[in-house]
Amino acid sequence: MENKEFFAAFTDLVREKGISEEAFIQTLENALASAYKKQFEGGAEINVTLDAEKGLIEFKATRYVVEEVEDKDKEISLEDAQELNPDYKVGDTIVTTFIPKDFGRIAAQTAKQVLLQKLHETERDNTFSEFSDKEGELMEGVIRKMDERNIYVELGDKKIEGVMPPQDRVPTERYAVGDRLKVFVKRVKNSGKNSQIVVSRSAQGLVKKLFEEQVPEIAQGIVEIKEIAREAGHRTKMAIVSNDARVDAVGACVGNRGARVNAVVEELGGEKIDIILWNEDPLAFIYKALSPATVLSVTAKGERSAIAIVPDEKLSLAIGRDGQNARLAARLTGWKIDVKNASSPEAAEILAAMEAEEETGVEESFEDETIEE
């Protein structure tokens, strides 16, 4: 069945849209065979071959040589087969080429459907390919729709859709269709019909990228963000370090009159941010991590566990509302932190031991250094 006009148009479209010609032809062959079987239900086994160079569509029917025919569409008797070729024997297959009657309209409709589907898949795959390097990046988007579970955000010039599931939303934020917001591209998954871009407002990566955007020293690698612990909508603790002794890491992040950190806080809807100097000494790091509370001493207690002693009047500040400050400090440092007030028996015992060490001239411990700080 000749259709040179179709193949000429097809070749141009394949070239223009970047569709894989081989993949399209294979899909169309299968679709035409399936369409034929639907129209002629119970017919022979059909295979369709497309030859783009010659502009031909060939339909081939396969029948099996048998002693006794039970299905005349799929089988042929040995006697009839040998009339075609004396060499045929039982078990052989006979493939014949034919042109289906009144199949032109269905073939054209099927080709159109397959072409549209392939165009859609190709455009989707190309778009996802462009987004594959956006994973872990910050993007601006517009909320286009919402349902009972997810929020759908239109991203970039291609207006591809990202999904924000419940766990990636901030409890204190209110969302509405038409809102423009910055999101963290958490995951790009390209797997056919299940392709998906997951975006987040609650991820720690959002805070990191916002600071990279506001603080040139972070973007340049002069100031490094070592750790982030976040309870989205409430508080974030961020540990930083300067890789250049001439650069004040905290000052760079805060900015002139707090301009840089305030820009991040505003984008996060007023979320509190504690900027802490990272320290390779875990006890010194814990001391800083409990900011804004005053810490008298930090003592190691077992594996990755420590006791932090604070003045009685600072206990509630050190622990924080519903334990938030101590919890975030533990996440930031990776240590279990037991916060004690100075008048507690255990704290009194530790502080007394420290005083005794000082009186006997024992070399100053870390606890002494933290008190002096």
Is 139-200 a CATH 2.40.50.140 domain? yes
Residue 180 has what pLDDT? 93
* CATH topology (fold) of 203-278: GMP Synthetase; Chain A, domain 3 (3.30.300)
- What's the rounded Cα separation, in Å, for the pair 15 and 13? 5
Residue 370 has what pLDDT? 38
Residue 371 has what pLDDT? 34
Class of domain 4-130: alpha beta
| Pairing state between β 75-77 and 56-66 | parallel
In the chain, where are the structural domains located? 4-130, 139-200, 203-278, 281-373
Cβ atoms of 189 and 160 within 8 Å: the answer is no
Question: Averaged in consecutive runs of 10 residues, what is the pLDDT profile of the chain (373 residues)?
Answer: 63 67 74 71 71 75 88 86 90 82 67 71 70 86 92 84 94 94 89 77 97 96 97 96 96 95 96 96 95 91 91 93 95 95 84 70 43 34
- In 3D space, the residue among 108, 112, 74, 70 whose CA is nearest the CA of residue 93 turns out to be 74
Enter the tokens of residue 37: 């079987």
- In 3D space, the residue among 258, 246, 257 whose CA is nearest the CA of residue 222 turns out to be 246
- What's the rounded Cα separation, in Å, for the pair 66 and 77? 5
Do the two domains 139-200 and 203-278 of this chain adopt the same fold? Answer: no
Q: Is the pTM of this model over 0.75?
A: no
* CATH topology (fold) of 281-373: GMP Synthetase; Chain A, domain 3 (3.30.300)
Q: How far is CA 141 from the centre of its chain?
A: 16
